[in-house]
Amino acid sequence: MTDVQRGSGVVVKQVGLDRLESLPGIGPSIAEDLRRIGVHDPAQLRHEEPEDLYERLQAVDGPTDRCVLYTFRAAHHFVTRNGAVDDAALLLWWNWTDPSPT
């Protein structure tokens, strides 16, 4: 794992795509949530919609904080681009929140 300084000043860890925990924002707890709904490998996230994952998790756990959905969105973005993300801000879950109503 190496540190890479991005233009936005955010230091990003360059990691492989071999473990769920290697994805930005995915720690042991979220990785376990994903495993409980049948996602065991980062490559599986390529074929899953974050909103569907969130709904599946809620079906298992009941009401779930929307921050988990935002984390799923960031991880999905990262995986579908093979870890090549131009804007490091897109690796942060809080940049994947729902649009504000106008």
Tokens of 14: 């360059």
Tokens of 96: 């994947």
Domain ranges of the chain: 2-96
Per-residue pLDDT of the chain (102 residues; tens, 9 = 90+): 444 444 455 444 445 577 999 998 999 999 999 999 999 999 999 999 999 999 999 999 999 999 999 999 999 999 998 888 788 899 999 999 998 776
Alpha helices in 13-91 (DSSP H): 28-36, 50-61, 66-80
pLDDT at position 54 is 98
The sign of the CA dihedral 10, 73, 39, 47 is: negative
Superfamily of domain 2-96: 5' to 3' exonuclease, C-terminal subdomain (1.10.150.20)
Tokens of 36: 């409980």
Q: How big is the chain by its Cα radius of gyration, in Å?
A: 14
The rounded distance, in Å, linking the Cα atoms of 101 and 59 is 27
Q: Are 91 and 25 in contact (CB under 8 A)?
A: yes
Tokens of 52: 């569907």
